[in-house]
Amino acid sequence: MPIPTISDFETVARRFEEVWKFPNCIDAIDGKHCKIKCPALSGSMYFNYKKIFSIVLQRVADDHYKFLFVDVGGFGKQSDGGTFKASDLGKLLERKELNVPGEKCLPRSDVKVPHVFIADEAYPLREYLMKPFSQKTVGEAEDVYNTRLSSARKTIECEFGILYAKWRILSGCIETSPESADQQIKAACILRNIIIDIDGWSPSVSDIPPVPAEANLQPLGRSRNSASNRAKEVRNCFKAYFVNNV
Q: What pLDDT, on a 0 to 100 scale, did the predictor assign at position 128?
A: 95
Q: 156-186: per-residue pLDDT in tens?
A: 878 777 887 788 888 889 999 999 999 999 9
The predicted structure's pLDDT at residue 135: 83
124 domain-assigned: yes
Residue 244 included in any domain: no
Flag residues of the chain having pLDDT under 50.
205-206, 214, 223
Kindly report the pTM of this predicted structure. Answer: 0.85
Q: Is residue 1 part of a domain?
A: no
DSSP assignment letter at 223: P
Amino acid at 174: I
Asked if the structure places residue 42 within a domain, the reply is yes
Number of domain units in the chain: 1
- Residue 119: the pLDDT is 93
Predicted local confidence at residue 218, as pLDDT: 52
Residue 204: per-residue pLDDT? 54
Amino acid identity of residue 200, one-letter, is G
Residues 13/108, Cβ–Cβ less than 8 Å: no
Evaluate whether residue 246 is within a structural domain. Answer: no
Helix (H, G, I), strand (E, B) or coil at 112: strand
Which whole-number Å values give the CA distances from 199 to 61, 191, 192, 193, in the listed order? 17, 12, 11, 10
C-alpha separations of 94 from 88, 109, 220 in Å: 10, 28, 21
Establish if 245 belongs to a structural domain. no
The Cα-based distances of 113 to 43, 186, 235 in angstroms read 44, 33, 9
Domain with 101, as residue range(s), is 6-239
DSSP secondary structure letters along 135-167:
TTS--HHHHHHHHHHHHHTHHHHHHHHHHHHH-
Any domain includes 234: yes
